[in-house]
């Protein structure tokens, strides 16, 4: 199962101070909109999303259909196929993708320690 690009999405209190902190670790702004309260920071192949609003807790994020440069890849495992595989293995999902649709969709699963995993397909 190919989960796509990986990043860590962090719920932050102050996006400006978080941006400054990650810049000191060598990260640069890769995407997002600071005025809207979210940035994607990049250090080589490592991505960290900073979310001052819209995200309640830190989350592991995978993006089927994208590479680490947020570029669409030709072949990938659709989020709905990933969902069917996870459910066939007995995992309960906190949010299910709508299997009657195609294109962008997402699912959320929580690991045994309560860590949220977002599988968020944009294509």
CATH number for the domain harbouring residue 18: 3.10.180.10
Residue 54 pLDDT: 85
- Check residue 83 and give its pLDDT: 98
Residue 13 confidence (pLDDT): 97
Q: Would you state the structure tokens that stand for residue 56, as one six-digit string?
A: 């309640």
CB distance 8 to 49 below 8 Å: yes
Tens of pLDDT, residue by residue over 51-108, are: 998 899 999 999 999 999 999 999 999 999 999 999 999 999 999 999 999 999 999 9
Interval 4-19: pLDDT, tens = 999 999 999 999 999 9
Characterise 88 by phi-psi region: left (phi > 0), alpha (psi -120 to 50), beta (else).
alpha
Residue 12 is predicted with a pLDDT of: 98
Task: Scan for tokens 């690009």, then name that residue.
Answer: 5
Query: What range does the domain containing 52 cover?
Result: 5-121
Q: Is the pLDDT of residue 29 over 90?
A: yes
Residue 23 and residue 31: Cα distance in Å, rounded? Answer: 14
| Helices first, then strands: H and E counts in the chain | 2, 8
- Rounded Cα distance between 69 and 31, Å, is 10
Domain count, the chain: 1
Distance in angstroms (rounded) separating the CA atoms of residues 22 and 90? 37
Q: Which element (helix H / strand E) includes 83? A: helix 79-88
């Amino acid at each position: 199962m190919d989960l796509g690009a990986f990043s860590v999405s962090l719920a932050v209190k102050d996006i400006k101070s978080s941006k400054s902190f990650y810049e000191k670790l060598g990260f640069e702004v890769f995407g997002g909109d600071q005025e809207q309260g979210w940035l994607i920071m990049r250090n080589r192949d490592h991505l960290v999303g900073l979310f001052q609003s819209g995200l309640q807790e830190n989350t592991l994020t995978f993006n089927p259909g994208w590479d680490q440069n947020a570029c669409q890849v030709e072949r990938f495992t659709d989020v709905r196929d990933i969902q069917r595989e996870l459910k066939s293995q007995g995992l309960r999902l906190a949010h299910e993708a709508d299997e009657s649709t195609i294109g962008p969709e997402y699912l959320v699963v929580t690991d045994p320690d309560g860590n949220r995993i977002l599988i968020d397909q944009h294509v």
